[in-house]
Structure 1
Amino acid sequence: MDRKIVILTEGHSNPHTAKTGCCVIRYRGDEVLAVIDSTQEGKPVSSCLGVGEDLLFISSLSQAPQANTLLIGIAPPGGKVPESWRPIILEAIEKGMNVVSGLHDFISDDTEFADAASQQEVELIDVRKNNMTEIARRPGFREDCFRIHT
């Protein structure tokens, strides 16, 4: 299935907090339909994010009925889903959309989201979640090795 992504940045549409959304627009822009931020509705996405010249901000999921994926496009302090976004995420799940998150708090561990996703048979994808528990290791530099820190 081709991904048709709507990015959620509600109230956080700037290149610093919406860096996840910016990168997806930059490198997967052909899969992005729109960006949800009701405070910027109707504006070109590039006016706030610096990328996405052909995309517009929309205020709700109903404005992108062909979308099949909701991407959480911000990296908020603390790595948690903003409480005001929960209804939007639940609406996406109820519409049969997969939800992709790069947050530090895993949406798949949230029982409300997980139960709704199970009922709708959609995926909650936490891109940071993996089974890697060991940090990369390598031999140290020789003590007499000249190093420049930049």
Structure 2
Amino acid sequence: MEISIPESPHFRNIIAIVFGLMFSAIAVGSVEMLGHQIYPELADLDYEDDAQMRVILSKAPATALACIIAAWTCGIFFGCFVAGVMGTEQGTFCCIVLSGIVVMLAVTMLSQIPMPKWFTFLGLVMLIPGGLAGWWLSRFTLDKLQRSVIDK
């Protein structure tokens, strides 16, 4: 039984973006889970209590918040890589759409949870190199695959 994606570029783009978002969420969750193992006090936050959030986040070590930024960067990296590879010829478009969705999710989270200014700045800025690296690696991977097929 052979499974293949239909030739419709629109359907392929949608599938690539959805799979990219899934891999992005898995990467973010995995890295944040590691961060919660290192800093368990942040795992027990009550997101409904703004006062508690401000106190705990103001006392949180910078490395604990850096774990969140690392999670977002890894998430957009893996998401763009998967979307770029699955999107093949239109992989750049898939990476741009996926990056836009991830940035909107990050901005939404940052607008709802009180975070330090440096975190807000770095959290958004680090999405750029993460997304670009994932896009670049997807293009590099597809180029290598195409060359290996042509050489055979």
TM-score range, shorter chain: under 0.3
**What's the TM-score, normalizing by structure 1?**
0.28
**What's the TM-score, normalizing by structure 2?**
0.27
Between Structure 1 and Structure 2, the one with more strand by share is 1
Between Structure 1 and Structure 2, the one with more helix by share is 2
